[in-house]
Each structure stands twice: as C-alpha cells, then as structure tokens.
Amino acid sequence: MKTFICTLDYELFGNGSGDIIEDIVKPTERLLAIARKHNLKFTIFFEAIEFLKIREYNRVNVGRGLYKETLEIVEKQIIDAYLAGHDIQLHIHPQWWDAVLSDGKWKVGENWSLGDFGSEEKIYSVIKAGKNYLEELIHRVDTNYRCIAIRAGGYMAQPGKSICSAMKKLGLVIDSSVVPGDVLLSSRGGYDYSQISPESDYLYFDKLSGCESSEIIELPITTFPLRRIRKLCSISAIKARLSNKKSSLDSFAALGNNSLIKKIRYIFSSQWQTFDFCILMPDIQRNFLKDALRSPKKLFVVIGHPKSFHDDKNFSFFMNYMASKDVDFCTISEFYHRNFKA
Ligand SMILES: [Zn+2]
C-alpha cells in the first residue's frame, strides 16, 4: 500500500512580509477544517525562529493589538492542532535569527540557508533554540511530546554536515528538506539535489551529506517534472504570487537571471515541482496522482503552505480524489514509530 504524508510549513513569507492572522492562522483554520472532514492528520512544520523573534517584540502593537496577543493565537492554534492528533515538527528559516523590526516591517538576514548559516556551533544554536521553543510549547499539554524532525527553510539543507551533527546532538532523527531533482542557485543560498532520484522512498540524510553514518532518515519531498510556464499560468499560483508580489519579485531577482532571453528560457523550461496541495490546480494534481499511484514508489511526502492557500478547491480536490484510493495517510511521527522504532 502507498503511504502519503501531508505536511504544512507554518510561516510568514521568507522576506518577513505577510500578516500572521490573515496569512497563517486563518488559512490554517480552513486547511484543518478540510482535514477534519476527511480525518486526515497533518505534519505541521512550525517555523520556530520567526515566532521566537516575534516573542522578543511582544510589546509592539501590530494594529489589532500587541504582538503578544497574536502570538498567543498562534500558540493556541498549534497546541489545539496537536491535541486533535496532528504532528508538530520543526521548520527553520535562519534569516529570522538576526531579524529586526523597524517601522512595522521586518528586516530579515541576507543568508537564508540553514546548511550554510555559519559555524557548526551557530547552526547548532539556531536548531536548538527552535527545538526548545517547540518542545516547551507542546509540553504545556503533553510532556511526552518529542520533536524528532526538521525541515530547512527554502529546502536549503546543504552542506548538510553541520545540520547532521546538530541533529544528532539534539536527538532529531528525521530530515524532510530534500527536493529530489531540483537545483536552486540564488544570492541567498541554494541547493543541488539533481543527483537524488525522485523515485526514492526514503534515504539517509547523513549519508547524503557526506557523513559515514546512516542514522538520520531523509523523507524527501515528492517532486515531478512540470514546465514553469504551466505552473505560472495556474490561477491559484497567480493568486499566491499577487498576494505577495514583493516576495515573489525578490525571489525572481535573487535567481540572478537578468537578461530577458534568460528569463524567457527559464519560464519555458521544466523544473522539478514539489507536489503542493495548496497551489496546484486539480488537473495538474490528477495527472500526477494517476501516474504516482501506478508507480513503484511507495512513500509520498506532499506539501502545502497556509500562506499560499487561496483556493479551498485545490486541497479539497486532493482529499476527495484520494478518498476512493487504497492509500494510507500518516504523520511523520507515526511513520517513524511504525518503521524505525524498535
Ligand atoms: Zn518555509
């Protein structure tokens, strides 16, 4: 039987823009409501560093009240999701580590890559701070909770050696940052996962990172080839981009493809697209899922982002389509305990 793990990256936009209530809390509510209808449990990757940073500014008034009150809403949503059976794990965007709030706008750091964020000690400190915050949060309702998995922001988990060493020290046993086949080169960081087969079910993150050991399980994100133009033309993707034009333009500029010819070539080429149930329209999902269910691959880690969830119909289509299929849905913690825990 095939297994699907549905993950959500719970976060603001990478450049610090967005509104916590409108872009995270409300769309997450809608996602959780659809999940409830289908009895699906998500694995929510909680971006801990931005909320730790926001906690430092908890006396700042954000229009509807103090940041402290907004943070309480976020923490309650995460705790309630956990109590409803969803798995909560760690997501880290290191650009928030040195972020500052000035004139109501966040200025995040220039380096967005966790793998390349500095010394081994610095990477350890960032991951440790995030893990401690998440565990402190969930321990308010369940002292048995353990944070076991991590996803690097923007999937930038290369080089992976320092991340592995921090993970081992902190007892993290699963990474889910790898985007098989994909390559990203930008001024803020990047990755090259072109040597990793999209057919892989699971791998070992330490081995992929050049370590001798095979102790950290890699659950790669499911990818499939898609022409960029096809994705750009999908209505939901357009909505997602318009809702955060500045962040999209920044991301495009960071690619460094400055000439028009290069830009045109870029949008007509294929990319390894992550299977994203928030933004991919039903026809693209259907094409992929038909092939996926016939393929020898057994494990699918699919993704979504509340901040880009504008059309309920995309995720509803996914859940309705899968309802009639002989497929097992589980969380990362469940998958780990079933398959790797003695
Ligand atoms: Zn993220």
Tell me whether residue 241 is exposed, middle or buried, using C-beta atoms within 10 angstroms of its C-beta: 0 to 12, 13 to 18, 19 or more. Answer: middle
CA of 198 to the centre of ligand 1 (A): 21
Residue 20, domain extent: 2-223+273-339
CA of 206 to the centre of ligand 1 (A): 21
Whole-structure pTM value: 0.92
CA 251/CA 274 separation, integer angstroms: 17
pLDDT at res. 220: 98
How would you write the pLDDT of the chain (342 residues) with one tens digit per residue? 999 999 999 999 999 999 999 999 999 999 999 999 999 999 999 999 999 999 999 999 988 899 999 999 999 999 999 999 999 999 999 999 999 999 989 999 999 999 999 999 999 999 999 999 999 999 999 999 999 999 999 999 999 999 999 999 999 999 999 999 999 999 999 999 999 999 999 999 999 999 999 999 999 999 998 877 777 776 566 666 666 655 655 556 666 656 777 777 777 777 899 999 999 999 999 999 999 999 999 999 999 999 999 999 999 999 999 999 999 999 999 999 999 986
CA of 49 to the centre of ligand 1 (A): 11
Report yes or no on 305 lying in a domain.
yes
Q: Which residues contact 175 (CB under 8 A, 6 or more apart)?
A: 149, 150, 151, 152, 157, 160, 163, 167, 205, 216, 217, 218, 219
Report yes or no on 284 lying in a domain.
yes
Report yes or no on 148 lying in a domain.
yes
Contact 209, 161 (CB under 8 A): yes
pLDDT at res. 260: 78
Tokens standing for residue 173: 């046993």
Report yes or no on 166 lying in a domain.
yes
DSSP 8-state code for residue 202 = -
Measured between alpha carbons, how far is residue 289 from residues 34, 237, 314 in Å? 19, 19, 13
pLDDT at res. 177: 98
Report yes or no on 255 lying in a domain.
no
pLDDT at res. 341: 82
pLDDT at res. 227: 78
Report yes or no on 58 lying in a domain.
yes
- The number of CA neighbours under 13 Å toward the Cβ of 91 is 22
Report yes or no on 243 lying in a domain.
no
CA of 91 to the centre of ligand 1 (A): 7
Report yes or no on 245 lying in a domain.
no
CA of 324 to the centre of ligand 1 (A): 31
CA 209/CA 178 separation, integer angstroms: 11
DSSP 8-state code for residue 43 = E
CA of 124 to the centre of ligand 1 (A): 18
| CATH code for the domain in which residue 50 is found | 3.20.20.370
CA of 45 to the centre of ligand 1 (A): 8
Q: How many structural domains compose the chain?
A: 1
Give the chain's radius of gyration (CA, Å).
Answer: 19
CA of 114 to the centre of ligand 1 (A): 11
pLDDT at res. 307: 97
Among candidates 221, 222, 216, 223, which has minimal Cα distance to 336? Answer: 216
CA of 10 to the centre of ligand 1 (A): 7
CA of 65 to the centre of ligand 1 (A): 26
Contact 301, 176 (CB under 8 A): yes
Residue list, CB under 5 A from ion ligand 1: 9, 11, 153
pLDDT at res. 269: 74
